[in-house]
Chains A and B, each alone.
Chain A
Amino acid sequence: MTYLEKQSNPLDPVHFRGNLQADYLYTSGAAGDKFFKHIMENDSFLASECEECGTVFCPPRLYCEDCFVEIPDEKWKEVPAKGTVRLFTTAMLNTFGEPLEVPKIIGLIDIEGTDSSMLGILKTKDQKQDLTGITVEAVFRPTQEREGTLKDILYFNESG
């Protein structure tokens, strides 16, 4: 630093701990609402398809981000809650940078019948090294325990 008198005793600097009371309500929106209400009752997903470019979004959206047009109700469809693992990683650290007690395998899953992917926790039958290309299916909570959030999907399990 450029001050004439610099601190040289490391015990001198004073710190205060503080935090932010920052809690929110996250509105799921018109499209998200339908999606989450759907998975409360069904073991499948909803998707929406752009009329102009044909892109199928899952999670579904009210509008296409490429064409910037609205997607009408009749272009919504049900798709199976399964897909193909495109990418995966084994996460070893928690948000504090400490080792996770149980490492988590997270995959980017291309959802069947759509042009979209979802992040999900992966479970496999055996200890595989390479999970690329395997087919996985969402495992949901029992219907009566669902509450219409993403945590209704417990994980994605290898199919078959």
Chain B
Amino acid sequence: MNRKVCIVGVGHTNFNSMTPDVSWKEFMYDACKKAYFDAGINPRKDVDSFITCAEDYWEGFGIFDEFVPDQIGATLRPCCTVCGDGIQGMANAYMQIMTGLMDTVAVEAHSKVSDLLTYGDVVLHAMDPLFEKPVSGPVERERYAGSPSYPDNNPKPLVGSTDEKERVHPYFLAGLEMQHYLRSAKVTEEQCASVAVKNKKNAFLNPYAINQADLSSEDVMSSEYLFNPLKRLDISPLVDGAICFVLAEESVAKKLGIEPIYLNGFGYSSETPWLSTRGMDAGYARQAVNMATKMAKLKDPKKALDVVEVDDRFSYKELQHIEALGLAGPGEAAQLLEEGELYKDGSLPTNLSGGSMGVGNCLEATGLQRSLEIITQLRGLAGKRQVTDAETGLAQSWRGIPSGTGAVAIFSRNPEVKT
């Protein structure tokens, strides 16, 4: 058995700050339809299994899995949801194919976050309700227990029922972590600001990136402190978008006559949810990259990687993640950026897609958006942002505040990564 897994089709919607003209189902349908067209297949007979990446609270209704099959072509077919980032979904697709049970698997992830009116509170809901969330302030509604037969004080409320406008936005955690990063890496706020500047500028060359801007680091520095040292322009904007990949065994790609992009390795890891004992150095990324490089037999990632996409939901995260991935020594990512190494013609082109800063934060679709850029680059279809002769690339994702979960995927044009 020498099965290999490759990407044979990709499709995505437009990315936008809102998409009032379509339902979330139509949105997913759009991405999947394009991916099946790209692969030249009919999902009703050519796809053996379907995976979506979603979380009930993002979507606004329960047991999301059950709402999936119709819009992705999966009715009465093997279908499941991975409650995580798109790269985690892709890892599951890989494993399904490697069992020999499935030859072709579709993976979909999306954000329709513009439908969510209480983003801050949903994120807050991901913090420990007894020990951590209460620091944010009042949580419950006046009559919070569902049944009118519950008196207001029984069961007792966790925090007082004063003005709900006093609840602190959970991004305060990014402010704390950024302060930690600035100190431990001996990096300045200006250096973090340069990440936002670079990625928003990169977005000009990516047709689907809508948050392009020509800013100076002074612009970022003079934007207001929201969670000191985190400023308004250090935070990536939320965006809607859906992405679908078709993964298949190598022989399927050959049959379809498609030049495959191989998924050579992946990894994912979760830190403890307890902020009380959790590290603040993106240990999840360190673990995930170790797993992925081992699997891809990649001895010297820094040398082998032609193009890299890392999570930059907050500007400092790009630098922190580059270091956690071992692509720069501790505190050295900012220097790479200053020396131009993270730009298209540098030694480690990073977030040429524009990243979350330039495209937008698309929740669980973030990992697929990053992977999409790597695949586009390896296919040689990246237009003006194309890295010459890109053969191997890495995509990394993080599930965002307050999660401690991250994933890594390594792709290449070759069945074995060239080192």
Which A residues are within 8 Å of any B CB, using their own CB? 1-2, 6-7, 10, 13, 15, 17-18, 20-21, 23-26, 28, 32, 36, 55, 57-59, 65, 86-98, 100-102, 104, 106, 108, 115-121, 147, 149-151
Stretch at the interface among B104-112, B165-173, B375-383: B165-173
- Whether A117 pairs with B172 at a CB distance below 8 angstroms is no
Binds A, one of B80-88, B186-194, B219-227, B247-255: B219-227
Given contacts A57-B277, A149-B130, contact A95 B124 (CB under 8 A): yes
Specify the main secondary structure of chain B where it touches its partner. loop
Contact with A along B13-33 (1 / 0, CB 8 A): 110000011100010001001
User: In the bound complex, do residue B155 and residue A93 qualify as a contact, i.e. CB atoms below 8 Å apart?
Assistant: no
Task: Please name the residue on chain A nearest to B141 by beta carbon.
Answer: A23
Q: Are A88 and B179 in contact (CB under 8 A)?
A: yes
Q: Which residues of B sit under 8 angstroms from A57, Cβ to Cβ?
A: 276-277
Contact sample, A vs B, 26 pairs, CB 8 Å cutoff: A1-B26, A6-B21, A13-B21, A21-B146, A25-B155, A26-B130, A26-B158, A89-B172, A89-B179, A90-B228, A91-B172, A91-B175, A92-B226, A93-B169, A94-B120, A94-B168, A95-B118, A95-B120, A95-B121, A95-B136, A95-B167, A100-B165, A118-B131, A147-B156, A149-B156, A149-B158
Q: Are A88 and B225 in contact, with the CB atoms below 8 A?
A: no
Q: Which of A7, A96, A115, A150 contacts B120 (CB 8 A)?
A: A96
Q: Are the CB atoms of A91 and B168 closer together than 8 Å?
A: yes
The interface residues of chain B lying within 8 Å CB-to-CB of A65 are 272, 274, 277
Nearest chain A residue, comparing its CB with the CB of B176: A87
A23 with B165, Cβ < 8 A, contacts A1-B21, A95-B136 known: no
Let me know if B78 is at the binding interface, CB within 8 A.
no
Which A residue's beta carbon lies closest to that of B117?
A17
Instruction: Pick the 9 closest A-B CB pairs, nearest first.
Output: A95-B120, A89-B175, A150-B134, A119-B135, A91-B172, A13-B20, A93-B169, A87-B176, A91-B168
Q: Which residue of B lies closest to A155 (CB)?
A: B135
Tell me the smallest distance from the CB of A106 to a CB of chain B, in Å: 5
Select one of A25, A101, A121 contacting B165, CB under 8 A: A101
Q: Chain B interface residue count: which class?
A: 35 or more
Q: Which residues of B contact A26 (CB under 8 A)?
A: 129-130, 158
CA distance in complex: A101, B228 (Å): 17
Measured CB to CB, the closest approach of chain A to B371, in angstroms, equals 22
Which A residues are in CB contact (< 8 Å) with B13? 1
> Are B168 and A28 in contact (CB-based, < 8 A)?
no
- Name, among B13, B134, B137, B168, the residue most crowded by chain A CB atoms within 10 Å (CB to CB): B168
Contact in complex: A90, B21 (CB < 8 Å): no
Given that A23-B145, A89-B179 are contacting pairs, would A95 and B135 also be in contact in the complex, using a CB cutoff of 8 Å?
no
Q: List chain A residues, Cβ under 8 A from B20.
A: 10, 13, 15
Contact A23 B160 (CB under 8 A): no
Bound together, the chains give a CA A24 to CA B145 distance in angstroms of 7
Measured CB to CB, the nearest residue on chain B to A18 is B60
- Known pairs A7-B21, A18-B60, A97-B169; list 4 more (Cβ under 8 Å): A2-B33, A89-B172, A94-B168, A101-B166
